[in-house]
Amino acid sequence: MLAPRIDWAASEGEGYLEGLPVLLKDNIETRDMPTTAGSLALAANAPGRDAPLVARLREAGAIILGKTNLSEWANIRSSDSISGWSAVGGQTRNPYDPARTPCGSSSGSAVAVAIGLAPVAIGTETDGSITCPASVNGVVGFKPTVGLVSRTHVVPISHSQDTAGPIATTVEDAAIVLSVIAGSDPADPATAEADARKVDYRAALDANSLRGARIGVMRFLSPSYSAETRAEFERALTALRAAGAEVVEIEQAPTDLRAIGGWELTVLLTELKHDLNAYLASTEPAQVKTRTLADVIAFNAAEPRETVLFGQDLFEKAQATRGLGDPAYVEARARSLRAAGPDGIDRMMTEHRVVALIAPTTSRAWTNDPKDEDEMQGSASRLAAVAGYPHLSVPMGFDRGMPVGLSFIGGKWDDARILSLGYAYEQVTKERRAPPLP
């Protein structure tokens, strides 16, 4: 637990996280160490600046222990990428079974918390990159509303979907850290409302918040999960009902999830080229010779250590995109945002009169072997990721000995309520079990 390390009397100012050790995903800049995104092309990337979220942690008294490994370039380099692998850090292992995936891309952040290297770590998510690693490593992961936490000096994929968020062993710990890192940043226009929207997320936690709450079950996702995860989900629903929640079945998807996936890819690849070029241009030329996405592609092609396991087809497709003014991009972004948000999450919550949506985060971790037919089964991340809405994963149980999480999803700026509902579920069930000792 990180709570005993925190001086609650100082919760409004300096010292809130006094002495708290924090690890950061290695795509978040700090002034005193390189930020590589797992790529050898950025091995010397040390611009000497703190990301605003890091500055907030330091101001609150936190101690930055170091950087955690990640899926290289946050899993956007290749459609065949291996979660948790990077040329800089090698393969991150799942502590419950080293032959199985830690998921990604915030693999090292989730594993570090799971095995107790630090009480909290910061991950980033574009689609599933906090919540999936949290789920399969048996910890709590929270993806905030996009725009609640600054993305400045974080190696980007997409300004539409990127956000940083906490990974911890408890919802309370995640809420404590979110209260510190949330806030407006003039350099990140998406955060313009953050100061007005943020609250003390720990103070908003209520162990009785499930009582009388209508919770929507996204049954249309159920067929994609393993039988064991579905059984764990039924146990979770029983616990929710026992805690006083009214469980509402939602059988039909409100929108075409496959179409959203296609639009999302167009958005991510187009924004990757634009946003990464802007980021690389802001780094130190003496340290980073790859100044554009095209330079990174050329670097990888000439560096065998980068392509030993998989290629860079997504980078190449991103390089071929035609910019933020491309009508195909403009249309895909508008359609995806509407389908996932107003016509997706918002519609379900309004029509079924629910305050949150739930589903298993994903099923048990699959194997690291790309030749193995074992693969990912089910995911609750897409709608919240594309809409930019909050998504919390809390330990739910075990699927063949591997942890699985329960996802709580809400509307834009519903961060406090989603954390509170997940906290209430966590207090009733206490499903987390630490991984076995090696």
Catalytic residues: 25, 105, 129
| β-pair partners for 398 | 403
257 by Cβ neighbours in 10 Å (0-12 / 13-18 / 19+) ranks as: middle
Whether 384 and 409 have beta carbons less than 8 Å apart is answered as yes
What is the Cα 39 distance to its own chain's centre? 20
- Answer whether 406's CB lies under 8 Å from 361's CB: yes
Provide the CB-side half-sphere exposure for 310 (13 A, CA).
22
Strands 391-399, 140-143: pairing is antiparallel
Task: Give the β-pairing of 402-409 and 85-86.
Answer: unpaired
**Which residues have C-beta within 8 Å of that of residue 227, sequence separation ≥ 6?**
none
**Which residue in 179, 177, 142 sits closest to 163, CA to CA?**
142
Could you tell me whether strands 214-218 and 356-360 are parallel, antiparallel, or unpaired per DSSP bridges?
A: parallel
Closest by Cα among 152, 148, 186 to 165: 148
Task: Say how many C-beta atoms besides its own lie within 10 A of residue 352's C-beta.
Answer: 16
Contact 160, 106 (CB under 8 A): no
Backbone angles phi, psi at 292, to 5 degrees: -145, 165
- Please list, in sequence order, all residues whose beta carbon lies within 8 angstroms of the beta carbon of residue 258, skipping any fewer than 6 positions away: none
